[in-house]
Amino acid sequence: MSTEYALIGISAAVLLSYWYSHLARILKLPAVIFLLVTGIVLREVLHRQGIEAPLPPGLLPLLGTIGLIMIVLEGALDLDLHPGRRSFLLRTFGSAALGVALCTAVIGAAVHAVFGLAWLPAMLLATPFGVISSAVAIPSAEVLQGEVREFVVYESSWSDILGVMLFNALVVAAVENGGAVSNFIGGGLTVLVLGSVIGLVMIWLVSHLEGHVKFLPLIFALLMVYGGAKALHLSPLLIVLILGLMLNNPQVLLRRFPRLQRFYSAHYDAELDKLKHLTAEATFLVRTFFFFMLGYNTDLATFANWQTWAAAVTVVLLIFGLRWPVLRLSGVAQTRPLLWASPRGLITVLLFYSLPEGLVPAEFPRGALILVVLLSCAVMAAGLRRDVMPTRPTETTVAGGEE
């Protein structure tokens, strides 16, 4: 492909994505649906013209990982921690943990029964489908207000983190025949300490770094830390979440530890605002190309298989069928519109692509992966269109009781 056509294609994709984001707000549809469909249509058009242009191997997982990091960082940088919100945080964590555990267990049991996989491989295969995608949920939460929106951001971020930790623990158990619990707990504690230290360093750097170029090096330093933690089978997304929360809420640390005041400077808030804008722009760019290429990498012929539809519809029914009891058991009084905020997306695709070689049975319809993403997004969009009524203040209440 010549340089000029590559420039035209890349620019068209970004401009289309920008228009899709505005269209999504009007139609109350996730913008990723438009990107996926555009990629699928482009592949079919090129195929009918006799043009075959496969994606380079490994490009999708790389883009997806960077996108996931940026999405969780963007969401964490938008969250304010205030005194008296402990019960709210516990509800979001509990909902995410219970949702990942219950969905993984039920879908894993179905995989075990239908495909005859042993319990451990079946649970490992089910884990990607048990995780809420923050890449889809957080942008879609823009149509919500107040605590409802914050609940979606927190819950989906927790779900990503817990899902990756569970996935890594199960991989260790499958490959090394044990050590899943110690990996899950030990890795989580290690990451908590590591994330806190990195957060303090980042607060100092944002306050004291000078020059025109300073935020991109910080972001790439975070990517490097993520890669190192991933290589050690830790849960690097937790580092990203801790970092974002610490950067956006330094007052929490300063109240408890006044000696840390030297980490903070008078122009910190202005510098942090610049970092937020850069993070939002980078997130938009990476998310655009990931979902566009994911659609492009999907063969439309796989949708013609009835087994693909049967598997995808079954998984989506289980996902949303379990959603109400998860919210109620987590102490959420106002379950709607949160009932629909359970899409699958980037994290599901990433974890599925990370499954150990030979684990996915040959008879498992791989086209079900993209169908689950599309159908879960469509169900969420339909539910939000029906339930979201911004003029009613009761829709912003998710508390199970008084704080």
Question: How confident is the model at residue 185, as a pLDDT?
Answer: 61
Alpha-carbon gap, residue 232 to 73, rounded angstroms: 21
Using CB atoms within 10 A of its CB, is residue 161 exposed (0-12), middle (13-18) or buried (19+)?
Answer: buried
Domain boundaries, given as residue ranges, for the chain: 13-396
> Tens digit of pLDDT per residue, the chain (403 long)?
578 888 898 899 999 999 998 888 787 778 888 999 999 999 888 888 888 888 888 888 888 888 888 888 887 887 777 767 778 888 899 999 999 999 999 999 999 999 888 898 999 999 999 999 988 888 888 778 888 888 998 899 889 888 887 887 788 777 766 555 555 566 667 777 888 888 888 888 887 777 777 788 888 888 888 888 888 777 777 788 888 888 888 877 777 777 777 777 778 888 889 889 999 899 889 989 998 998 898 888 888 888 899 999 999 999 999 999 999 998 887 788 899 999 998 889 888 988 887 788 888 888 899 999 999 999 998 888 887 754 444 444 555 543 3
Question: How confident is the model at residue 400, as a pLDDT?
Answer: 54
Question: How confident is the model at residue 350, as a pLDDT?
Answer: 85
Using CB atoms within 10 A of its CB, is residue 8 exposed (0-12), middle (13-18) or buried (19+)?
Answer: exposed
pLDDT tens digit string along 108-160? Answer: 999 999 988 889 899 999 999 999 998 888 888 877 888 888 899 889 988 98
Provide the phi-psi class of 60: left if phi over 0, else alpha when psi is between -120 and 50, else beta: alpha
Contacts of residue 177, defined as CB under 8 A and 6 or more positions apart, other chains included, come to none
Q: Which CATH number fits domain 13-396: 1.10.287.110, 3.40.228.10, 3.40.50.1950, 1.20.1530.20?
A: 1.20.1530.20
Residue with the two structure tokens 């499958």: 174
The DSSP code sequence of 292-308 is HHHHHTS-GGGGG-HHH
